Amino acid sequence: MRAPRWAVMLLSVVTLAVGSAAYYVHANPALALVFRPLVGRVMAQVVARRAANDAVYLTAVRPTTTALSRTATQRFTQSAANDALYAAGRPTWASVGRGSVLALGAIALTGDQTGSDPAPELQVHTTGQTNAEGQPVITIRGQEFVSPYAATEQTPVLAYVPTRLPDVGATPEQVETAPSVPASSRWYLTHPETTLGYLHGRDVSSLGNAWAAIQASRLCADDYYSACSYEFVSAVPSTALFNGEPLQHTLYYDVHFTRQLSSGPEPGYIRYTASVRQNLSYQPVVEPEVAMGTLTEVLPALQPHLQTQLSPQLLAQIMTELWLETALQPDYDGLPFPVTQPVTAAEVAAAIQALGQGIPTLEDLLSLANPAPGTDIAIELEAPPTTNPDTGGNVTVEVDFGPDPGVGEPTLEQPPTGEQILAPLQGLFPSLTSFSVPGHTSECPRPSMELFGETHRIEQHCTLLDQYGGPLSAAMLLVWAIVSLRIVLSA
């Protein structure tokens, strides 16, 4: 069945609206600027790697990153809401490292650099002056450019500087001389001094006036004429067109003069005709632009350069600045930060490699540092949930770890008692618990012998044994027990 015409028209309108909205989201810098936590995660990784060198410091990783986050948030709340490094009143990672970014002054960008031309730059200006008209200006590569506001350390001016600067002195009325007509000039005519080639430019009237002025000066080169001046008479455009404009303009000028006659000076004039032709090889030249102002104002010009990789040295300087300020606070309980051991570029490079997420780019530096308006700046290894600032709603983005494996919570066993700990030892040799020394009776031997017709009895030792028998019996019982136990254990 064929769809009615009104349905087709409605579908076309909806498609066009959706397509336009998609393009607007892509082109609008305010919508493209989102929360990106990579710089904060690199900082947290540097802290973790420093703590890993000493097990005592492992417990201080979390207090350190929390303190760094608190310092970064305090910087934002204490700064001016219209700071150039902020975006719509929210902090960026560039504003977190404000001191290092201002001190650096410029970040070289990758993009449209060709040959020996200088690389495009994102410059940060903190000083400026005013021109003769009282306008604030900043100096870029030796040229003065009018700034939207005065540049100070409190109100820096960001400037996107392209590879080639625009010619601030060039005007549409500018006329130049050349042996051939460049493609950048729309109109030209033959120079009165034909050996010089052509006069060319972008404006017909300016070309004709320049040509007439040359003719007047040539006439007055003769002593016979003086007080030469020119006057425009009329212009006749041709009927032939090229790109909608006349192919040629015929200009008429009167060159006035004064002749020195014997009867006295006499005024006169000569009519000259100039033919200004259109350059068929003309190609409009798009002059590069220097974008100046806040981050929001400069961001459109930076779009082609957002994937420029950041120097690890810059990130090291930013973190050193932030960590030093944090460690000097009286309630700081994180890792010690010696002044003689600043964060190095090698540490940052190792942290980036450990994260395995690529090198931070200019887009990361200029991205929002807090996950949602009014929240704290997060410097931690795992990024918190964020909201989509483009929709105007609170759409929470959660990390998906996959399906629930159904593993229950772990439980801890009860610690054993002292009796339970000693029970294995007590049951190791159960026969020892019932061991006793067997009882027996004995009588001290009293030997005798016959000598010299008499009987002699030896019994003094029995007297001693009767006297000290108790202690000796206990001592020997102990020796016997030790020897017996050693025999049993060695078996």
Can you give the pLDDT of all 491 residues of the chain as single tens digits? 444 444 434 434 333 333 333 323 333 444 357 888 999 999 999 999 888 866 667 788 888 999 999 998 887 765 555 678 888 788 899 988 888 998 999 999 986 555 567 889 999 999 989 999 999 999 998 889 999 999 998 889 999 999 888 876 667 789 999 999 999 899 999 999 989 999 999 999 999 999 999 999 999 888 888 889 999 999 999 999 998 899 999 999 999 999 878 777 889 999 999 999 999 999 887 778 899 999 989 999 999 999 999 999 999 999 999 999 999 999 898 888 888 999 999 999 999 999 988 899 999 999 999 888 888 888 988 755 544 444 444 545 455 555 666 667 777 777 787 777 777 766 666 665 666 656 666 777 878 777 777 777 777 778 777 777 778 778 888 888 888 888 877 76
- Residues with Cβ within 8 Å of 323's Cβ and at least 6 positions away in sequence, in order, are 68, 337, 343
E strand map for 173-242: 175-178, 187-190, 198-201, 225-237, 241-242
- The H helix count followed by the E strand count for the chain is 13, 19
Q: What are 120's two structure tokens? A: 């495009």
**Are the C-beta atoms of 248 and 204 separated by less than 8 Å?**
no
Closest CA to 301 of 380, 357, 366, 351: 366
Q: How far is CA 351 from CA 46, 98, 348, 385, 465, in A?
A: 6, 22, 5, 22, 85
